[in-house]
Chain A
């Protein structure tokens, strides 16, 4: 299913989608393969599969540690595309790849885009590839109908926002906090207002990520965002082995998103 189709379904259901990040290969690749299916079962709407990188400058300690472990397990784009190939028949929800640019660049931009298409990967998220540097990559993705997910942060000027919105497909990844990935108890007040404004301006859905881990945040975001992205919280619980707690929590988040009467 494409990202667009999925958001269309979510719009019909009048609810925000739940997007979950997992580092591929943590603690090992078989776990990842099994776990994303559990995520689908508890109602997760999109999976973001993280490609490990040696120098993840936009990530906090949790994802750094998971990436390092995955690299020790010799996980690379080749093994991740093999994983995605196996997921083709197992996941009916869309899945995306999230990677720093260098592994993708060394793999080959065209080869990356083709392999995405062949393994049903619907989008690519590259945190260190801003709009200015991404035309070449986007052109390759476009050839194979893969979305490049572009970021907007509260620091993005209105002029830049216009340029980004003009070329963006799939959804906009709104960065909720200043800083790196990792859970925060509270998001800045301005985040909620800025997301609402951006959503009015954008013609594609807006998903919010970075720092999200609790029910209060979900309750507030569900009214202003089209998607909610959770990563470090998930990896932290996986690291601790709290699988049941994690899946129950995500099930609860899904329930909150589905219930229009439950408000902040």
Chain B
């Protein structure tokens, strides 16, 4: 098995660098910085220091006994919700912002959907003393108002994006436009395994800490590898982070869960791998939700973090080579799972992560009592409490 991606940033046919010419130089600069400094032993020593002492890693792998009984197999939760700032996003932002600092950049920018990546970027920027500006869709700013305020508390400027569908996709467009104008001083901290090479591989590497820890932890606890890994997929960073270190363990099955929104047969979903077709969006060739003219579809999901019409090129490669299976669960199933996990385990999951939980709740029959299933609980649900209350008509 050749190492992926190749030098051109391709995972099979997917990936690449579909960038405007002006960005080719900053991309080359980043590529050089990442593959020399960013992968060096010295850099990783420093990164490990911050992940351990600042971000609270390793996160625990928790045997969810009550939930396991509900599903009928052994379910372990990889507790990324316990990572600092409440989600896995911090793994990537500490890595990228530390690298930006070493590249001599004085400013970082980022897009955010649910606000978790924005908060994590603002946090790392404060830690490493860099200026920080976040782009967020107008609709997401409304449904994730708490995170907007958190970012501001951390000293970041939050820019409201009111173009296009006013969600994550448009926030990425605006961040890219900023980067084209300001790359001399600025690093663009992409929040998922998307974008042009080397972003998908760099973000994957920083998020692989999830899978590497899981592997060590499950071997210690159960003396064997899991049968299934389950994670939600929007852009796909927590899932790739969990899956990738198990890539060569062919008996470990990967299950990616997308957002079916109001249903896969409606126009209101974000299930790119289930329903999309290959195309070019945000710098890479990957599955995309689009019409026959190649225009990108608006998307819908109850969770702002999955509300995206593209996905990482490595996921597209996993799909075509059947290394991973991809399914989708709808908003109702997600809300149900949100309650189930809260009540059974006392853990309120992020709506994004609740998609992974929902897959188990909806597919109990698939799993045998001896099966070991690891679910990436990518984030905590505090940020979603207001939104869930609103949807369910509860006055707070």
Contact = CB atoms under 8 A, between A and B. Distances in A.
A and B form one complex: yes
Interface of A: 53-58, 60-61, 64, 68, 71, 76-78, 100-107, 127-130, 132-133, 150-153, 155-157, 160, 175, 178-180
A105 B181 contact: no
B358 to A, nearest CB: 30
B43 interface: no
Contacts of B182: 178
Contact of A64 (B26, B163, B180): B163
Given A61-B163, A106-B290, 18 more contacts: A53-B295, A58-B20, A60-B177, A78-B293, A102-B281, A102-B288, A102-B290, A105-B294, A107-B293, A132-B8, A132-B17, A133-B16, A153-B24, A155-B21, A155-B22, A156-B21, A175-B20, A179-B181
Interface in B266-314: 279-283, 288, 290, 292-296
A130 B173 contact: no
Given A57-B173, A105-B279, A180-B177, A130 B288 contact: no
A63 to B, nearest CB: 12
Given A55-B173, A102-B290, A156 B25 contact: yes
A57 B295 contact: no
A180 B17 CA distance: 18
A106 B18 CA distance: 15
Contacts of B281: 55, 102
20 contacts: A55-B164, A55-B281, A57-B20, A57-B180, A58-B22, A68-B163, A71-B295, A102-B279, A106-B290, A127-B21, A128-B18, A130-B20, A130-B21, A150-B21, A151-B20, A156-B21, A175-B21, A178-B183, A178-B184, A179-B181
Contacts of A53: 294-295
Majority DSSP secondary structure for residues of B touching A: mixed
Contacts of B173: 55-57
Nearest to B296: A54
B24 A160 contact: yes
B19 A130 contact: yes
B294 A106 contact: yes
Contact of A101 (B24, B280, B293, B296): B280
Nearest to A106: B294
Nearest to B22: A153
A180 B296 contact: no
A130 B24 contact: yes
A127 B183 CA distance: 18
A155 B26 contact: yes
Contact of B17 (A133, A155, A179): A133
A130 to B, nearest CB: 6
A106 B177 contact: no
B82 interface: no
A30 to B, nearest CB: 20
Interface string B10-34: 0000001111111011101000000
Contacts of B78: none
B180 A180 contact: yes
Contacts of B181: 178-180
A55 B41 CA distance: 39
A235 to B, nearest CB: 16
Contacts of A101: 18, 280
B282 A57 contact: yes
Interface in B144-200: 163-164, 169-170, 173, 176-177, 180-184
B21 A133 contact: no
A128 B19 contact: yes
B183 A106 contact: no
A128 B283 contact: yes
A103 B293 contact: yes
A43 B153 CA distance: 56
B293 A106 contact: yes
A160 B28 CA distance: 11
Contacts of A179: 22, 177, 180-181
A77 B16 CA distance: 25
A155 B22 CA distance: 6
Nearest to B176: A57
Contacts of B163: 61, 64, 68
A127 B184 CA distance: 20
Given A54-B164, A55-B173, A103-B294, A152 B20 contact: no
Contact of A128 (B20, B184, B294): B20
A130 B23 CA distance: 10
Given A58-B180, A180-B180, A104 B18 contact: no
Given A55-B173, A76-B293, A133 B25 contact: no
A127 B20 contact: yes
Contacts of A175: 20-22
B296 A55 contact: yes
Contacts of A56: 173
A100 B294 CA distance: 10
A106 B292 contact: yes
For A54, A127, A152, which residue has the most chain B Cβ atoms within 10 angstroms?
A54
A25 to B, nearest CB: 12
A171 to B, nearest CB: 14
A102 B280 contact: yes
Contacts of B292: 106
Contacts of A153: 21-22, 24-25
Contacts of B19: 128, 130
Contact of B295 (A103, A132, A155, A180): A103
Contacts of A60: 177
A152 B24 CA distance: 10
Contact of A77 (B169, B280, B282, B293): B293
Contact of A152 (B21, B177, B183): B21
Contacts of B280: 100-102, 105, 128
Q: Which 6 A-B pairs have the closest CB atoms?
A: A106-B294, A179-B181, A155-B25, A151-B21, A103-B294, A102-B294
